[in-house]
Every structure is written in structure tokens, then in C-alpha cells.
Structure 1
């Protein structure tokens, strides 16, 4: 078990919202970042025919937020920002200070009494607004700047990330693949569950496949809560009584993915 912590409305989260805004400005420096499945599809359309040895793979981080070493991340992200040609007026010193303040001082209440408080000592501050971009940038340094792409880029036709999910197209041999898997997990205390390369994978809300003629094909996954789920009954009613706006958005999603 791990507690679910909400920082909304706290003074610390006001700082975290500002930090998130500043970190969002650094997305152009994280080329493997994807916003959503629409962004992924746009990038996949730029890929032509694949070589015969091309295979698809995915990976999922094991409890990413809680397994990011706080001090390691502050140091890694800080050093990374020092080497960037930052946007004009970017408040580098304030961002570094805010990262330390937010991630080192997550105070929360736990239990039935109101006089028991805890300070989180390890991992991304739970429930804080800057968590997603913090995690995205942190592992992005390992992917793009230090290890994965610099070392294995010749065997990666494409390598993309949605926070704690990885997608790539691999062209290397078995020995190179084993080396790549070791390097994926060689960063702080974070570990990944890596699926073996294949001709078809599920990633985000898409099934991505390699056709017999070497082209990439995609189809939409219908990710709805099944009736036998342990979720409250109200969740099922929320799907049945879907609003017109949501229905139109869903139809648009299916049209874009097919």
C-alpha cells in the first residue's frame, strides 16, 4: 500500500504549479517526449518502410514517481539545465530552488488522527503539480543526453516516451538488445519492465503493428471499465450516461486513429 496525497490548495502546491509552468517550457529540449496518442501518430506517420529486422517494443516503469531518488533527480535535472541554451528570462536559480523546496518538503497527514504528520523522504512528492514534467525530464536526461540514445541510437529507428511508458522500434541483434535493457535500468533506483521486441504492441490507446510489407499500422484500443471491475457502480453509469461533448470527442479520437 501507499498513501494517496493531494496537495491541491496548499501553499507548497502554489510553488509547484509555478515550477510546473517553468518545466513545461523545457519540453522542446526533450525530443523523445510525446503529449498523447495524437502526437505519437503524427511522429509515426513520418516513418516509411521498415527494414526486415525491425521490431517494436514497449516498457513500463515500476512505480516511477516513488522510485525517483529525490537528491539524484535534483542534481541530474539541475546539471542538465545548466547545459541548455535556455529561453530568454528563464529563472534558472529560482527553478532549482523550487525543485528542492517542493520535492524535499512534502508534508502530509496520515491516519485517523489530525495530529500525525509525515515528511516524504524519498521519491517524487506525491500529489504535487510538477510531478509529471519532473519525472519526464529526469529520465529524459538518461535517454537523450547521457546513455540510451548516445549508446544505442544506431539500433533505434524511433524512441518515444509518455512519462513512465516507453515505445521504440529496434533493429539491433540479440546481444545489443540485452545491453540496451541493462542500460535502461542503469539510472538511479528506477527500474523498468521491458517487453521483448515483436511485430505488434499495445501502447497508450493504440495497437501498433508491422504489416507483412514492412509498414506501420495502428488501430484504436477501446479502454473502458468492464462490468466485472471492482470499481464503484457509479463508474459504469458514468460511461453509459456519457455527454454529447464526450461522445463527439471519442468519435474524433477513433477517426484520427484509424
Structure 2
């Protein structure tokens, strides 16, 4: 469990979030060091699809690292680079979410005597997997360069109600003067919770992630007394 503390500049009263504030973006991109998740041990036969695991560990059987590429279970899409090689006749490759209908798009168009590479964003499907369709027999190498996942971020009112939040926030309440409890849709034990007073005022807020809850306590920096404040937070796992 990790904690990050933040204090606001001094002024007398907590300031309300302004009307110009907008909700945080629902999904954010996280870059990762290029990671080869796939190197087909055998060619994908013509006019067939092959399932490829992207999320989690255990990618060794498909030519990737046993520890995985660092794509979390919360990811909804990945940025990948695909190289099609070893084809004897021209064809094309389509990458798409496992368990969904194959779209009428071309991810990589390959010749019959040379490799071809292209980058794309692929939605993740069943069990964190993608499907690769090959029009003609071909080997495929795939590198993950980042992933998209809904972020855990919000702004909380004086009374503990939610001002703005992404869909990962289930509810929020005040449990006493300067004390707040935010319920999330996942276990965040071991994640990093960063909280900060919102607007002007001489305050500090401490946030602790445990289970599916963020517990937070706010104080006046001048007196150490508990205080109700507007505050914002995000969680990184």
C-alpha cells in the first residue's frame, strides 16, 4: 500500500470546483517498452484466425515472454506493431478483438516474398485476447507498445459526494469531519493513491488504498484540525 500527500496554497476557505471543470477522460493511454507478445511458431493457415493472449502472463507458448508484456486486466485496447513474414503468396492480416465478428479492415497487407509491418490499435476481447486472421499462409510477429485502460480519477465535494469521476468510481461518502470513503470497482491494495486539495486553502489530505476503497482524511495545515474540503484524486496500479 502506498500513499502520496499533497497540500494546497494558503487561503481561508475551501474553494468550490469551478463551473468550467469537465469530467476526466474515461480512458487513458499508457506506453510500455516495446514487448514482443507474439512470434508464431507455425504459420497461420490461409483463411483462418488464431487467438493471441495479450493480457497477463504466460505468453511463452506463442513466442512472447513468460512474464507477459505488462498489460493489466483493466485494459480495453492495445497499441501494437505487426510484422507479417514468410508468405509465399500475397495476402493480408486483420487484427481484431477475440470473440467478436471479424471486421472488413486490413491491418497489414503483405507481399509474397518480403516482410511487411504496420502499427494499429486493437480492441481486446475475451480473456484479454485478440484474433489474427490471415488471408494467406503467413508467420506473424507482434509487439505491444502501450495499452488503453479506464482510469480511476475523480473530484469529491465538501459533503463527500462525487463532483466528477470516471466510471471506475462506484460511490463516495463523508464518514466524519474531514473523513471520506470512496468505493471503486476493483481491488486497489498495493496501488498508489494520489490526493490533493482542490482550489485555494491551507489544507492537506492523506489517501490510503485498501481493498475496493480509498480512505482519505483532510486537515488544516495551520491548526491540524480535521476539515471538510473539495479534493481530487487518482489511482495508479
Query: Smaller-chain TM-score range?
Result: under 0.3
TM-score (norm 1): 0.22
TM-score by length of 2: 0.23
Structure showing the higher helix proportion among its residues: 1
User: More strand by proportion, 1 or 2?
Assistant: 2
Q: Which has the larger radius of gyration?
A: 2
